[in-house]
Amino acid sequence: MKKVIVIFTFFLFFVFIARGQGEIDNQQKIFYRNESTFGFSLNSTGYGASYRYGKRINYLNKRLFEGDFNYFRHPKEIKMYNPYSPNSRGFVYGKTNLFFNIRLGYGFQRDLFRKIDKGGVAVRYFFTFGPSIGFYKPVYYEVIYFLSMNTYTIVEMKFDPTSLHSPNDIYGRASFFKGWDEVKFVPGGYVKAGFNFEFSKFDPFVQSLEGGITVDAYPWRIPIMASPDNNSIFISLFACFRFGKIIDKYYKKAYEKNQQLDNSFSY
């Protein structure tokens, strides 16, 4: 949560600085253009990656189609190590499942301010919604099992509060790939809203920073931790860096023609 707030504050600072400077942009522009972008996000509940296609409706509005993949953390997760085996893998004591989701969304984006200078920033707001397919797999631990006072073996097992009374019982986390044959799926839905600040200096390319809020909802609680305070609704703030390009073929031809004219005048 603190990381998201710090990064989003930096984004806003960057936007205000960028809007106050720049040279006049003489690049060829076509406003009826489509955009294809990828994004990497840091959320108050984890992190994720996404793809988005924006189809221009008119001068100010786009229709959005997006797909997200996200990993969720429980707010009570604390990474630790076995104090008697400092070289072992770190683990989260009490974690029972790793939780991920895939979102498939549809929505809209509207421009509030368009770029005029090369160093300027275009400001937009957007809203998307759609199905959110969650899936979770069990976490396995490498547990110290004593055969006698002086001998022990390492056993891979799920978290069991009746036998794992202390973190000292755990040598470390087992392989990430252990337990994928036990994946469980849960259907749900999501809504997302936020602001997009596009700052690319070269018009065929898209670079932007986003910030906003996402709500994922499921019909039952997701058992991430061995505790009663697991959630079925996840509300998260996010900060996202997006990059991509304009994919309109008519725009590409116009841009290349404009670049040729600029090069001829430079001589």
How sure is the predictor about 241, in pLDDT bands with cuts at 50, 70 and 90? very high
How sure is the predictor about 254, in pLDDT bands with cuts at 50, 70 and 90? low
For the entire predicted model, the pTM comes to 0.81
Residue type at position 86: P
- Number of Cβ within 10 Å of residue 227's Cβ equals 13
In which residue are the tokens 């396995």 written? 140
Q: Which long-range contacts (CB under 8 A, 24 or more apart) does 225-231 make?
A: 225/74, 225/76, 225/77, 225/94, 225/95, 225/96, 226/94, 226/95, 226/96, 226/159, 226/161, 227/76, 227/94, 229/76, 230/74
Q: Bin 85: left if φ > 0, else alpha if -120 < ψ < 50, else beta.
A: beta
Query: Model confidence over 106-151: pLDDT tens digits?
Result: 999 999 988 776 668 889 999 999 999 999 999 999 998 877 777 8
pLDDT of residue 262: 53
What is the C-alpha to C-alpha distance for residues 46 and 4, in angstroms, rounded to an integer? 10
pLDDT of residue 15: 52
Q: What is the DSSP string of 168-192?
A: GGEEEE--TTTTGGG-EEE--EEEE
Please state, for a pLDDT cut of 90, what percent of the chain lies above it.
55
> What residue ranges define each of the domains in the chain, with the CATH number in brackets?
2-76+99-134+185-266 (2.40.160.20)
Are the beta carbons of 70 and 192 closer than 8 angstroms?
no
Are the beta carbons of 159 and 94 closer than 8 angstroms?
yes
pLDDT of residue 111: 92
Asked whether residue 21 carries a pLDDT value surpassing 70, the answer given is no
What is the C-alpha to C-alpha distance for residues 29 and 118, in angstroms, rounded to an integer? 12
Asked whether residue 242 carries a pLDDT value surpassing 50, the answer given is yes
- Number of Cβ within 10 Å of residue 65's Cβ equals 15
Please state, for a pLDDT cut of 70, what percent of the chain lies above it.
79
What is the pLDDT of the chain when averaged over all its residues?
84
Are the beta carbons of 216 and 222 closer than 8 angstroms?
no
Query: Model confidence over 163-172: pLDDT tens digits?
Result: 877 888 899 9
Query: What are the angstrom distances between the C-alpha of 47 and each of 66, 93, 123, 235?
Result: 16, 21, 24, 13
What is the C-alpha to C-alpha distance for residues 72 and 91, in angstroms, rounded to an integer? 16
Q: How many CA atoms lie within 13 A of 130 on its CB side?
A: 16
Q: What is the mean pLDDT of residues 65-72?
A: 97
Asked whether residue 29 carries a pLDDT value surpassing 90, the answer given is no
